[in-house]
């Protein structure tokens, strides 16, 4: 698991622990994956129209 992508980790590991540690360490999630974007409610980065919104 990529430790820079903490939202994805929080979706199936100990959510509170992952989010608290990420906040304390000042981590930033770049929201490049499908799962992270679904969690946040963004358009997912796939499909033919993706570049129009990117």
| pLDDT above 70 (res 3) | no
HSE, CB side, 13 Å, CA atoms: give it for residue 41. Answer: 0
Better pLDDT: 44 or 18: 18
pLDDT above 80 for 1:
no
Residues 6+ positions from 13 with CB-CB distance below 8 Å: none
C-alpha pair distances (Å), 1 with each of 4, 7, 31: 9, 11, 15
44 vs 4, which has greater pLDDT? 44
pTM for the model stands at 0.63
pLDDT in tens, 6-33: 888 888 778 899 899 999 999 988 888 8
Spell out the domains of the chain, with CATH numbers in brackets: 6-44 (1.10.150.390)
Token pair 């929201």: residue? 31
Element (H, E) at 20: helix 15-24
């Amino acid at each position: 698991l990529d430790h820079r992508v903490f939202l994805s980790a929080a979706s199936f590991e100990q959510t509170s622990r992952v989010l608290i540690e990420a906040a304390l360490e000042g981590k930033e999630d770049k929201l490049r994956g499908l799962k992270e974007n679904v969690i946040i409610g963004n358009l997912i980065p796939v499909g033919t129209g993706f570049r129009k919104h990117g």
